[in-house]
Amino acid sequence: DAGVIQSPRHEVTEMGQEVTLRCKPISGHDYLFWYRQTMMRGLELLIYFNNNVPIDDSGMPEDRFSAKMPNASFSTLKIQPSEPRDSAVYFCASSHNRVWAGELFFGEGSRLTVL
């Protein structure tokens, strides 16, 4: 079984550029989550979707961040314009119901460096 698939694995960009991170969740999972991990702040929930609908985006840092889930098998996290403080590892995770009691399956992450 394929796990959660994220791309790109690594992205280096310059301040001001647009960044798009992509995620394919595990087939059949109802929930999709975007997390950001840094040394300073650990794992932070940015946004999560249920059946392709955004449920809680209170963790999105600011308007520069946006996320979409056009269908059950694809989601994007976009940063425009990017800033050096956005440098982090961004994880996508999916889960099958019982959202806050079930297991989260994480992708391998996208490491973003903004110069």
Which residues of this chain interact with other proteins, rule CB under 8 A? Answer: 4, 42-43, 45, 56, 91, 93, 100-101, 103-104, 106-109
Of 45 and 81, which CB lies nearer to other proteins in the complex structure?
Answer: 45
DSSP code per residue over 14-25: -TT--EEEEEEP
CB of 57 vs other proteins, minimal distance in Å: 12
Neighbours of 76 (CB within 10 A): 15
Instruction: Give the integer Cα–Cα distance in Å for 33 and 46.
Output: 8
Of 35 and 65, which CB lies nearer to other proteins in the complex structure?
Answer: 35
Of 63 and 100, which CB lies nearer to other proteins in the complex structure?
Answer: 100
CB of 104 vs other proteins, minimal distance in Å: 7
CB of 106 vs other proteins, minimal distance in Å: 3
Distance (Å) of CA 30 to CA 3, 40, 44, 79, 110: 14, 30, 20, 24, 22
